[in-house]
């Protein structure tokens, strides 16, 4: 029996989320559930999916490690497609300021916010960042996350941006959770560039972006396209240059004001545009037509006490919607996938089926990997979640509590709640 060779049988529900690209609009309801299902994984890759009766006629149980999933629901591993997983320091005091009524932008304008985390991340050693990053990935894994996107952006200078990306690269090599890296050097304007934002974009283009691209430290380039941060034109300039260098694109778009970030994402052919609380009807339509994934971050809106993004409108308009945690030290200090499910279904008018699609195949599409992860299809990575309940419908029903019992990564059992 080889490592990564596994047979999961007798699943009450095998939720395949079958597909190789993002699901749009009504397609998001389609989970392709197999009752009494089974999965065969060989050398870390899914070999076959079907009913238990069908697969046991074709495959000998003696050749595999066997997991009996009787009375359990089985799903693809979750994809958390927007996080800031590697950072130094915390901002608990700012949370208390927000509780008394201070807005996120007010805190940012007086020197708090992202700049606070920049200071702490610059001061942190690689070893310290690796240790806290690993701890966070361990927690994400326990929630069923098998692939995560991680952004830099708490350096805003050459050395620290590179340090963050290198730490994420190392974590990707040693941790079960795959880490997809995004360069977010334009996350905020450094103090020494205040009023000289165009010069900071020049600095990123001339000094930092080439090193990131040449050393393949990141697959994606992102920017905080927002009023009092970076304009649409500044965002277009940086992202266009990143695209020329062969990087894929993401945007923090239309979170606080309606600036036109969604339209820009469509114009540039970005893989995703994220946040989108204030996205215009035109921006949503443009994204749907261009195939840009709308990555929504309900925990951030919840933490900031803002209105949620218009998930129902976006889906009904033909968008592919993904959901993610936005784990970060300021506006959203949580990696809770159960909370994402609860908010999306209870407050964003998403069905349970749509939320599962958003955290599996559409999350995979949001990190450019829908052809290899995000569904239980033959030929894809053997990334699987086994719930402690018989149906996927228990995920939002057990409100904000994890229903994940086991997690398999590349055909290997890497988390087991029962063994803890």
Residue 51's CATH number:
2.30.40.10
Q: Is 212 contained in some domain?
A: yes
84 shares a domain with 69: no
244 and 267 inside one domain: yes
Based on the fold, state whether residues 350 and 222 are members of the same structural domain. yes
Domain boundary among 349, 366, 383: 366
What confidence score (pLDDT) does residue 109 get? 73
Q: Which stretches of the chain score pLDDT less than 50? A: none
Residue 64 lies in a domain: yes
The string of pLDDT tens digits covering residues 134-154 is 999 999 999 999 999 999 999
Judgement on whether residues 412 and 289 belong to the same structural domain of the protein:
no
In a domain, residue 1? The reply is no
Same domain, 235 and 381: no
Please indicate, yes or no, if residue 43 is contained in any of the structural domains: yes
65 vs 49, 61, 220, 364, CA distance in Å? 16, 8, 37, 27
Q: Is residue 191 part of a domain?
A: yes
Looking at the fold, whether 274 and 385 belong to one and the same domain comes out as no
Residues 173 and 215 in one domain: yes
- Position 112 scores a pLDDT of 76
Given 342, 366, 390, which residue is the final one in a domain? Answer: 366
CB 217 within 8 A of CB 169: yes
Q: Quick one: 62 and 201 in the same domain?
A: no
Q: Give yes or no: residues 316 and 224 share one domain.
A: yes
pLDDT of residue 214: 97
- Do 101 and 64 share a structural domain? no
Co-location of 283 and 270 in the same domain = yes
What is the predicted pLDDT for the residue at 381? 98
For residue 124, what is the domain's CATH number? Answer: 3.20.20.140
pLDDT at site 115? 84
Same domain, residue pair 33 and 88 = no
Query: Domain end: 345, 366, 387, which one?
Result: 366
Domain range enclosing 52: 6-76+374-419
**pLDDT value of residue 1:** 62
How many domains would you assign to the chain?
Answer: 2
Q: Indicate whether 266 belongs to any domain.
A: yes
């Amino acid at each position: 029996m080889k490592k990564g060779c596994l047979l999961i049988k007798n699943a009450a529900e095998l939720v395949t989320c079958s597909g190789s690209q993002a699901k749009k609009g009504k397609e998001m309801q389609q989970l392709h559930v197999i009752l009494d299902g089974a999965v065969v994984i060989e050398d870390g890759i899914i070999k076959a999916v079907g009913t238990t009766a069908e697969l046991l006629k074709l495959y000998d149980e003696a050749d595999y490690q066997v997991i009996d999933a009787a009375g359990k629901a089985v799903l693809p591993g979750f994809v958390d497609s927007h996080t800031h997983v590697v950072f130094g320091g915390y901002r608990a005091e700012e949370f208390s300021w927000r509780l008394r009524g201070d807005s996120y932008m007010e805190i940012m304008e007086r020197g708090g916010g992202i700049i606070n985390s920049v200071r702490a991340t610059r001061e942190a050693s690689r070893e310290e960042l690796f240790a806290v990053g690993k701890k966070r990935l361990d927690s994400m894994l326990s929630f069923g996350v098998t692939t995560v996107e991680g952004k830099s952006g708490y350096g805003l200078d050459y050395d620290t941006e590179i340090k963050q990306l290198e730490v994420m690269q190392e974590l990707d090599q040693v941790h079960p959770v795959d880490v997809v890296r995004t360069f977010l050097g334009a996350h905020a304007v450094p103090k020494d560039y205040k009023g000289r934002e165009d010069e900071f974009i020049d600095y990123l283009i001339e000094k930092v972006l080439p090193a990131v691209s040449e050393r393949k430290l990141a697959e994606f380039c992102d920017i905080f396209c927002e009023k009092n941060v970076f304009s649409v034109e500044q965002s277009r300039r940086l992202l266009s240059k990143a695209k020329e260098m062969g990087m894929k694109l993401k945007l923090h778009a239309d979170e606080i004001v309606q600036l036109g970030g969604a339209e820009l994402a469509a114009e540039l052919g970005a893989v995703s545009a994220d946040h989108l609380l204030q996205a215009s009807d035109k921006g949503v339509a443009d994204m749907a037509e261009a195939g840009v994934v709308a990555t929504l971050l309900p925990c951030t809106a919840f933490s900031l006490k803002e209105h949620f993004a218009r998930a129902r409108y976006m889906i009904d308009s033909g968008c592919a919607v993904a959901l993610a945690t936005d784990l970060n030290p300021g506006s959203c200090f949580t990696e809770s996938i159960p909370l994402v499910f609860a908010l999306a279904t209870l407050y964003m008018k998403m069905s349970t089926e749509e939320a599962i699609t958003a955290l599996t195949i559409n999350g995979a599409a949001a990190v450019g990997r829908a052809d290899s992860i995000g569904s239980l299809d033959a030929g894809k990575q053997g990334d699987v979640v086994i719930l402690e309940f018989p149906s996927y419908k228990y995920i939002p029903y057990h409100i904000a509590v994890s229903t994940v019992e086991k997690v398999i990564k590349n055909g290997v059992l890497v988390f087991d709640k029962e063994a803890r």
